[in-house]
Chains A and B, each alone.
Chain A
């Protein structure tokens, strides 16, 4: 542990005093001991401690904190549940983290107009919970939905299994209230309907906190489908499963969800509390759901069963009850969290490929894993070609980090070769920024960056996210090298000791 030496910039103690004056001391975390747990999120490959974590309760407080940060040139970013898989809530350059977990009120539910206005810290699943008695729900359903917040979902444009038919977060946000780095609050979009003029909601959703901080989100609510059928198809070969997926898509059928789970993942799930009786010796299973009106549902199911019948599935189970359906989905959605049973660490990728290429890409990924000597698992949204290759590793091994990043690069190049892209729903964050150049030209990146600068001219809102560092392509930057300290820590600031 070393005491940081004096650097130019604003004295940290001054900032702390101002923050405490705005909120109160209980809502300003400033000691390294308290900040430690905020150094990373769902992605543990990177870490960097913020200088402060603050807990605002209102839009006004968020506004005042952002003004303070901008006045002093301090970076800031919002954090909800910290489940980002791309390092979206890591304070890459230190600064202030606005923890919005306490801004978790549902402000308004308007069933007649099918919308809900919520604060950003509301947990995704709690929106559905508030309206399900009336047979409504909020459609985007990321696997993290039991914990992740609407604010984070908006920042990352979160997806989920059911986005195959219903679309991702951006398709379900009607209106936003957000605090921008110019120190003002604006409303984007309109709850009444499609955006008028520029689609600023579309611009903001998925901008990963680089444009500002959403403080109110008006989301669309959907009426639950009258009929739902869920089935599990069990395969002895991965390629038979992927061929089935391609077959279903080629027929023009749009299931509500079409998920694939491979053997390693099945074994991780079935060892735990979310076990749902999926055969552990299966090479892969497909979890398929169709929904709609009672009238056409059996026809949809039959068509899918026909495709499955043309491939070699070992077994097909149709869930007989709502409870059974729920259990299958719980198994699927907790898959990410279950990898601790089979590996000390894991890294989730998020590449997207054309669905017709599924069989060859999965083969290629498997052989890449062997080549790099790393175990792999797969659980993904097969229906929209959104892969989640999971690299299993042990950070305690010396070269683990380098090997993992090299394999990740190879997998993304493979996605690029077949005309795919690098992220479906997890965001770019810190994690994939260096791979942006594989998919975008310098000019493409510049146009995005120019847009960012319109809203965030001093690059204080969640810096270092999305855009590659200005250096050689493909080279992973480590945070310690890139991070600039913008706050000075003097010897009279005894609390600041770097771990």
Chain B
């Protein structure tokens, strides 16, 4: 068996053994989506921690079961909300993934693709945009229809076809927010805030950014979109690609320091969770540790920010039955559950419905739906069933992955009439409905 005492490279976050806090009580089991689906101890938080301990003690090699069960984790962190002992599971699983990343040999092509995507595409907004342009072209030229036709004829591997189906339709989407732009407040400026543009958010969900900007302007904010910001690196950290994640974090810290803003506002739960953890990501960096901590303290989710205002500018009437779905990285990682609900409840005419399991993962989990499509779909089916039982006109959820995943789930279940929206889009619509005065959709 290989040596368990794997030397930690400089800058690694793998340090103290955080696992002793787990007392093996098992109260986390039913919080874990993969345990609920598979019923296997090794696919539960308790089991995974046991594997981590076994690996640390040299009882278990990295390749094989360990790598498999660690990568099958959604990193949804619902177990953290259930754990009475406060085991920092998110940190533990990212450390374990770092070990897998460093020691596991992947097939050449997979490895090359991972290096390209994580090392080149995401760290550069420019290269990312080129890829999205290509994607748009692919859809506009009808190539997509062709590929889907071939998939139907089983001329393309099922796995690849499945991944292709996940592609969102990029035609007719709002133009991305320009990096470097500044948006003045409506009326007196009470706050100067920074907006995290993100990677996928700005390419696919720029409409949510525009809604966020309008709502902030309406509430006395001047919004800066720092030009040198990059992707938050949550995907990298979740995949255990720590060194790249640290470099990207540093660039973001510098970008927002230069913007001199009082708050760093993020409207994607996954990004928010990672940005709030920059302090931990760079804890051992002499130059950046304290800068990272003060940056993280400034990061607020948009719902948290608006909910914390002394008074929200009153929204207009919007007759809409909305079910709120908690993004895992908002509820479990940031402990924000009530703020978005309270915001929605301030909209006159809006009826807020509760799902039976609003706190359960939808199976999106970053790129999980690509790495583990089958399991991701099984988890999604539960979410769709819950929504179906609840019967809303719209589902509100504040994370791009969840928006795509739930949207796809509803389409597959012939429930496309249910809209999937970010809470800020709903709030924005309510503000804009004022001028129409009838609560109808102004779009």
Q: Give residues in A with beta carbon < 8 Å to B.
A: 1, 29, 31, 33-34, 36-38, 40-42, 44, 55, 81-83, 99, 101-102, 104, 121, 123, 125, 144, 146-148, 268-269, 271-274, 334-341, 344-346, 499
Contact = CB atoms under 8 A, between A and B. Distances in A.
A330 to B, nearest CB: 9
B42 interface: yes
Given A34-B65, A346-B23, A273 B29 contact: no
A339 B23 contact: yes
B299 interface: no
Contact of A83 (B25, B42, B47, B86): B25
Interface stretch (B77-85, B106-114, B176-184, B188-196): B77-85
Contacts of A340: 20-23, 84-87
A41 B83 CA distance: 17
A339 B25 CA distance: 10
A273 B25 contact: no
A396 B165 CA distance: 51
B324 interface: no
Interface residues of B, number: 35
B54 A336 contact: no
Contacts of A144: 25-27
Contacts of A121: 39
Interface of B: 1, 20-30, 35, 39-42, 47, 50-51, 54, 59-61, 64-66, 80-87
B interface secondary structure, majority: loop
A269 B24 contact: no
A336 B20 contact: no
B256 to A, nearest CB: 30
A499 B65 CA distance: 14
A334 B27 contact: yes
Contacts of B25: 42, 83, 144, 336-337
B26 A81 contact: yes
Nearest to A335: B84
A38 B30 contact: no
B190 to A, nearest CB: 34
B39 A33 contact: no
A312 to B, nearest CB: 30
Most central of A40, A148, A335, A338 by chain B CB within 10 Å: A338
Nearest to B59: A499
User: Considering residues B20, B23, B40, B50, which has the most beta carbons from chain A within 10 angstroms of its beta carbon?
Assistant: B23
A273 B84 contact: yes
Given A34-B42, A272-B85, A345 B23 contact: yes
Contact of B86 (A44, A104, A272): A272
A341 B85 CA distance: 5
Contacts of A148: 26
A449 B22 CA distance: 37
Point out which of B25, B64, B66, B84 has the most chain A C-beta atoms below 10 A from its C-beta: B84
B20 A344 contact: yes
Given A273-B86, A335-B84, A499-B59, A38 B27 contact: no
Given A36-B51, A272-B84, A337 B39 contact: no
A375 to B, nearest CB: 14
Contacts of B60: 33, 36, 499
A271 B27 contact: no
Given A36-B50, A341-B86, A147 B65 contact: no
Nearest to A331: B84
Contacts of B47: 37
Contacts of A146: 27, 30, 82
A121 B40 CA distance: 12
A37 B42 contact: yes
Contacts of A273: 80-84, 86
Given A31-B65, A37-B51, A271-B86, 14 more contacts: A33-B61, A37-B50, A40-B24, A41-B24, A41-B26, A99-B41, A101-B40, A269-B84, A334-B27, A337-B23, A337-B84, A340-B87, A341-B21, A341-B86
Contacts of A41: 24, 26
A153 to B, nearest CB: 14
A334 B84 contact: yes
A81 B65 contact: no
Contacts of B87: 340
Nearest to B39: A101
A36 B39 contact: no
25 contacts: A29-B40, A33-B66, A36-B50, A37-B42, A41-B26, A42-B26, A44-B24, A83-B25, A99-B39, A101-B40, A146-B27, A146-B30, A147-B29, A272-B84, A272-B86, A273-B81, A273-B84, A273-B86, A334-B27, A334-B84, A338-B85, A340-B86, A340-B87, A341-B85, A344-B21
